[in-house]
Amino acid sequence: MMIMKEKYDITNLLKQRYFWDIDFTSGKTVSKRLIVERIFSLGTLAEMTLLLNYFGKGEVEKILINLNYIDPKTLNFASKYFSRSKKTFKCYTRKQLMPQHWNS
């Protein structure tokens, strides 16, 4: 017998300070991409685990791989956590294609 989880809105379980630019009173839903990006960049390990359980590890991994930008610390964490080379992340390859000039 399979027990089904009750469907709930994950944004109610996350801290509102991660979504300072979102008006939750309007009733609009927040995109998965934005939720994953903000929680992996700003959230705790417990909140990341909540996302992985809610969306599924494969879906979170796919979202992170396809983001245009992740800060270097988050990229390193995601790379190690999902056992993926940094080269598989879109943000890493984009950064390599756009060299930074010296600030002097």
Is pLDDT above 80 for 95?
Answer: no
CA distances from 100 to 86, 91, 93, 94, 103 (A): 18, 14, 14, 12, 9
**Alpha carbons 63 and 25: distance in angstroms, whole number:** 26
43-60 tens-digit pLDDT? 999 999 999 999 999 999
- Residue 14 or residue 76, greater confidence: 76
Q: In angstroms, rounded to a whole number, what is the distance separating the alpha carbons of residues 90 and 88?
A: 6
Which of 73, 103, 71, 75 lies closest to 89 in space, CA to CA?
Answer: 75
More confident residue, 41 or 92: 41
pTM over 0.85: no
Write down the domain spans for the chain.
10-19+29-97
pLDDT band (50, 70, 90) for residue 101 = low
Q: Which residue has the higher pLDDT, 97 or 45?
A: 45
- Measured CA to CA, the distance from residue 70 to residue 37 in angstroms comes to 8
Using 50, 70 and 90 to split pLDDT, how confident is the model at 7? very low
- State whether the Cα torsion 54-34-98-101 is positive or negative: negative
Mean pLDDT within 75-83: 94
